[in-house]
Structure 1
Amino acid sequence: MHLKFAPETETFRAHVRAWFETEFPKDIIAKYKAGEALTTADVRRSEMALGANGWLATAWPKEYGGPGWGIEEQYVFDEELERAGVPTVTPMGVIYVGPVLYTFGSDAQKARWLPGIRDGSVGWAQGYSEPGAGSDLASLEFSAVLKDGVYTLNGHKIWTSAAQHADWIFLLARTSRGEKKQEGISFICCPLDAPGVTVKPIISIDGAHALNEVLFEDVTVPEDCRIGEAGKGWTYSQYLLGFERTSYARIGGKRAMLRHVRGLASALPEGANERLIDDAGFAARLTQAEIAVDGLEMTVFRILSAQVSGGSVGDASSTVKILATETHQFITQLLLEAAGPFVGHRAPSAGSGPRDVASYLGGRAQSIYGGTNEIQKNIIARKVLGL
């Protein structure tokens, strides 16, 4: 299956590809392709390079500083970014909190926070999960007590991605209690250098530092750090989660991984008598993975069409979350199988070795974070299928 874009979209693709080849910092691409950890300075420089060209907040409406692109242009841009080997944009600012801000925030809050998100100069983290509130996020106990126009924050957030690179964190906090546990939750922003905030690294199974614990002890922020109405944070979080779950698709990255798998499988390892691609079983599973990516791509286009009117992608984004994470895990299983015969020998394509193993190990968590796939199936059953 092959998508055909309009000639003007292909012209746009050529422009984007040329910019990445000639203008984007080559040292950052080299470091990222080699699987090396990016420093905060690397992340900021990468995203500010996109921001300086107006290409960081690519899905934002033009009235808030976005490029005003249609869905096809956004999609092609993401494909070319991944094709070029540019680091994935940290989603917490431009994809998650940005749309919440320009949809529900005050004019003062938009003026305060949107420019730094849009140009990449200010990093954000997301404070949702807690030790006792992961998939059952509405059970959170993180507290925000309001007195004399100031919130005092206390609690413990965990699995906080990119907090080591961030300047601000947006979080869900319980500001009151209602009949339902989803009631009384507010959406609050806090600077990560505020007194009483402690960020502790969590080193994952692949040896990477992507996750953190963030502890708050009597941290104070002014009331105008709350986005929208008090007690409406759950509503805003559900709006945000639609964008989060759709962002997992990363079609371009998955196609690049498939090309890498096929390259390994089509080569003849030293001392071997046959190529893995000649094994009928492996070849069939590789084809199955390619079909799965095609199917995911069609699903993304169908669901993202909801954004044409400027609305949320809604509960149907759970479909993308399930398909994207399971497809990624399937591809990385094939990747390890294809890379195995090259252990101790030079692989035929760049990116083999530790980075392949890291992709596999890191991908195990994809069906857990952002709401487990089991939870997503319940959402689809109840809210999409009406069961």
Structure 2
Amino acid sequence: MATWLKDNLTGEFEQLKFRGGPGDEHMFPQERKKWEQKLAEGGWTCVGWPKKYGGRGCSIEQQVIFNEEYARAGAPGHVGHIGEGLTGPTLIAFGTEAQKQKYLPGIVAGKELWCQGYSEPSAGSDLANVKTKARFDETKGKWIINGQKVWTSLAHESDFIFVIARTDPDSVAHKGLGFFLMKMDQPGIEVRGIEQLTGTSEFNEVFFDDAECEADDIVGAPGEGWKVAMGLLGFERGVSTLGQQMQFQNELDQIMAIAKENGAAKDPVIRQRIAGAHIGLKIMRYNSMRMLSGGADGSLQKEALIYKLYWATWHRDLGELAMDVLGAEAEMLESAPYNLTRLQSMYLFVRSDTIYGGTNEIQKNIIAERGLGMPKEPKILMK
């Protein structure tokens, strides 16, 4: 893998090194799509998938090596990571054979991109509060979807979306939900970009107005959406976390190089904070290795419950360290109107790390209730 990356991350792809990923998704989207297909040509997409579905059938150990080598080489963030890391494993675990044959080849080839339709204006960290509805139209023989999703990463670049919607209009919480596979390019779906603090629009709002979903494109039975959705979130805590940590290491390495160059490393407090960041990243890695013993259906060990809270807080602190190392330079832009450096963009974006994917407060509740078996937080009943 390392040799292949060295030979291929050149020429037109040279500019992609260390680009892409959270906070930098707006960079070189078309070029990164071409890179995704280049990976596919070399057989380097979906390496952990079974061979019968186009993967390499790599072991957990081999997948760890792959993700770490990929990040170490500075290869760009995957534009297809939702499909490869979430949609695919979910369909392999819960989907029908027809669904696998329909959707998995496009993901393996790097030609069909997916986005995630989970969060809503009133259902962010509280996913079970979704209001988007799905009804089956007997005349059309299709599911009709109405509602809104928000914070949908790369929806503007995606070909498909998986959507959690309520199949039983009278149901509440996690009951009565369905998990749907939908084509983005259709009259009933509208995507609106959300401008972020960084001046870019990585996230989107997605509106469904009588959007259609084929009858066979619900994963599991109506009412089983919560089980499928939770299985998918388990895959989110999989081997890709090791690649994420290598990207964190690349950021830390850049911060250390700047500290040595501009003299910030002579400050004992800065040195202590850099050492603390290094130690924190090592702890993150060791806990991730414990996490990887989860089941093939996305089930997780309790060690996985702390991961989101830990990395989000660590990464937010790294952004603050970067600004302090840069000093006065951190408050200046190279050119108008909003030309942020990589570290400036990272600092602004990581403010969201402790919010998306479940806020820190929600993560603490999950740890307390699911991990430690403590009583659930009291709820206020509104009359």
Q: TM-score, normalising length from structure 2?
A: 0.88
- Map Cα deviations across residues 296-354 of structure 1 (whole Å, 9 max, x no partner): 000000001225x665335542311111111111212111111225569999xxxx962
C-alpha distance 353-123 of structure 1, shift in aligned 2 (>3 A): closer
Q: Distance in 2 between matches of 1:19 and 1:335?
A: 32
Native 8 Å contact 1:249 1:300 kept in 2: no
Partner residue of 1:82 out of 62, 71, 74: 71
- CA gap 1:19/1:248 in 2 versus in 1, 3 angstroms: closer
2:257 equivalent in structure 1 = 263
Write the deviation string for residues 37-88 of structure 1: whole angstroms up to 9, x where unpaired.
Answer: 3354223212111222221212323333221222222122212222222221
Correspondence for 1:220? 212
Residue aligned with 2:75, SS: coil
Are 1:125 and 2:115 matched, yes or no?
yes
- 1:183-198 alignment to 2 at 5 Å? 183-198=175-190
Indicate if the aligned counterparts of 1:154 and 1:219 stay in contact, CA closer than 8 A: yes
Question: 1:41, 1:312 → 2: CA distance?
Answer: 35
How far apart, CA to CA, are the structure 2 residues paired with 1:260 and 1:65?
36
**In structure 1, the residue corresponding to 2:261 is in which secondary structure?**
coil
Query: Unpaired runs of 5+ in structure 2?
Result: 375-383
Where do residues 319-338 of structure 1 align in structure 2 (5 Å cutoff)?
A: 319-338=306-325
Q: Within 5 Å, which residues of 2 pair with 1:264-283?
A: 264-268=258-262, 275-283=263-271
- Give the secondary-structure state (helix, strand or coil) at the position aligned to 1:160: coil
Which residue pairs with 1:140 in the alignment? 130
SS at match of 1:220: strand
1:107 aligns with 2:94: no
2:288 counterpart of 1:300: yes
Q: How many angstroms does 1:222 deviate by?
A: 1.8
Conserved? CA contact 2:180–2:219, under 8 Å:
yes
Any idea what the Cα deviations from partners look like across 1:231-262, whole Å, max 9, x if unmatched? 11111111111222454871111111111111
Q: 1:236 to 1:266 in 2, by over 3 A?
A: same
Shift in CA distance, 180/355, structure 1 to aligned 2, threshold 3 Å: same
1:173 to 2:199 alignment: no
Question: Which one is further off, 35-44 or 247-256?
Answer: 35-44
* Matching residue of 1:4: none
Shift of 1:194: 1.2
> What is the aligned length?
361
Q: Which moved more, 1:352-361 or 1:235-244?
A: 352-361
Go from structure 1 to structure 2 and tell me whether the alpha carbon gap of 1:181 and 1:159 turns closer, same or farther (over 3 Å shift): same
Structure 1 residue aligned with 2:245, among 232, 241, 251?
Answer: 251
- What percent of counterpart residues are identical? 34
Question: Shift in Å at residue 151 of structure 1?
Answer: 0.8
- Which residue does the alignment assign to 2:380? none
One-letter amino acid matched to 1:22: D
